[in-house]
Structure 1
């Protein structure tokens, strides 16, 4: 006869009587399928899952139940707002004996996307976009937020202005008494001296957070990333040839930006396609040993 295994979470009472806001697990490995339009890829996610424990005398929740329920997100079906809601409902239902009313799941993974070069035909490379999903069910109210991190380049407007002034001064000094300059001579001088001073630029990142619609058919991550890159205008590149590098230099020159400019670009640009968004931008300075940052928006 098989012995009945003890379950102290049910048979023992907590010595310290306090309700707990969240109890569960953190850092669970889980495969998830992201499917949006032509994009379909299974990715490795790290998942946190918790429920509330309002009964002060209950010693513990049933963590194995939460763990097994997460398989509902890893059975080869595309991850959607609806599937996340279903799992949260099941988490609460599985803990009725603990009178749990709330549940939440946080998920982090890197969305791997193939990106074309700026101008060279048939040249592509892979870019990784960190994504965080936070789904919660509180008193039967479901909310889902998505955050994506997008890398871009930022060239300082102040540094660009200072560089232009030095080039202007050098040109005047070299040709102050020459009234017969031809366009060809000016072009030749620029070829040799236009980099007398160059503005500083740096790799930068934008973390964009939006609230997703519960009834949406998919998570809309690709659309969010595309809208972010279009708003900031200078996303970092993957595979490049010289023509692509030159096109990238032109993009940077046409889109000089302080960290404040970048944040406002994103807030205004995303408002059109994504609704209200919260943004956090960071310019990883090449001039200073510290970074420039800005926050804004309201999602």
Structure 2
């Protein structure tokens, strides 16, 4: 039915004959089939997709070809390295008449995961992890980077020390002159007076990105999330009871960290597992109206 419809991409040329690095679409909404350990279900994503336009005499690429390939992929294929390879290769083949040799795809979505409470048996809740997948196909090779945002709690070591200093001073004032103190007296005093807040104790976010090996069988998203949360020790919780809240307070006290500490902890946990990784952390400070940030990377330039 399109035989008699005009197609200026074929009948006209551009005023400036210049090849283009990338041409395509962004913000395409589509459902994706995930295939992660314990995470096999569809979810809503946004996609950006482009190919290079190497032939300067071609006025425009075939957007509909890219869309149809992406739509078919989303409907029938799980998101895995080998399926992404096949999709991007097909996009390049579909634009042979444009002399295209490269294609790229970016996917953005939230990965839902049910997490158990710290101590209450049978209690759990959902947490969503923002994910970004960047795939580039060129010359028969796939470069695949995945990134996740992990939210955690951070308590400043200096603030904790200042809080402890206040507690120590108050204790000394109360029991000055006592050569011996009854443990029960101390327990009562601590219960009534032994609580000073730490001014730097806040929700924080780590952006973690790794490059997957070409032979990777999956996106390793849950592994990346688990490694990051284990390194930090204080991931935010979902459903809690008082016992879980108390356990979380203990975890924060045992894992005091500057923003520098957080970045180093994560990168140290990743460096033996992934050849290339980058970490960017942001502490949304409770003391200041600004944030503390740190980043590190071992990507080869």
For 1:39, what is the secondary structure of its paired residue?
Answer: coil
- Structure 1 contact 167–197 (Cα < 8 Å) conserved: no
Alignment partner of 1:222 is 2:253: no
- Structure 2 contact 199–287 (Cα < 8 Å) conserved: no
- Structure 1 contact 147–210 (Cα < 8 Å) conserved: yes
Q: What TM-score do the two structures reach when normalised by structure 1? A: 0.96
1:275 Cα shift? 4.1
Corresponding residue for residue 162 of structure 1: 162
1:193-246 CA-partner distances (Å, limit 9, x unpaired): 111453430000000000112322221111111111101110000000000000
Alignment partner of 1:123 is 2:123: yes
Number of aligned positions between the proteins:
299
Q: Report matched runs for 1:104-115 at 5 Å.
A: 104-115=104-115
What's the Cα RMSD here?
1.5
**Distance between the aligned counterparts of 2:127 and 2:76, measured in 1?**
24
Q: Is the alpha carbon distance of 1:13 and 1:128 closer, same or farther for their aligned partners in structure 2, counting shifts above 3 Å? A: same
Corresponding residue for residue 198 of structure 2: 198
Segments of structure 2 that go 5 or more residues without pairing to the other structure are none
Corresponding residue for residue 233 of structure 1: 233
Q: Report matched runs for 1:15-164 at 5 Å.
A: 15-164=15-164
Q: Is the alpha carbon distance of 1:171 and 1:19 closer, same or farther for their aligned partners in structure 2, counting shifts above 3 Å? A: same
1:249 Cα shift? 0.4
Q: Is the alpha carbon distance of 1:45 and 1:3 closer, same or farther for their aligned partners in structure 2, counting shifts above 3 Å? A: closer
Q: What TM-score do the two structures reach when normalised by structure 2? A: 0.96
- Structure 1 contact 166–197 (Cα < 8 Å) conserved: no
For 2:75, what is the secondary structure of its paired residue?
Answer: coil
Of 250-259 and 55-64, the range deviating more from structure 2: 55-64
**Distance between the aligned counterparts of 2:131 and 2:203, measured in 1?**
19
Runs of 4+ in 1 over 4 A off after TM superposition: none
Q: Is the alpha carbon distance of 1:2 and 1:204 closer, same or farther for their aligned partners in structure 2, counting shifts above 3 Å? A: closer
Alignment partner of 1:259 is 2:256: no
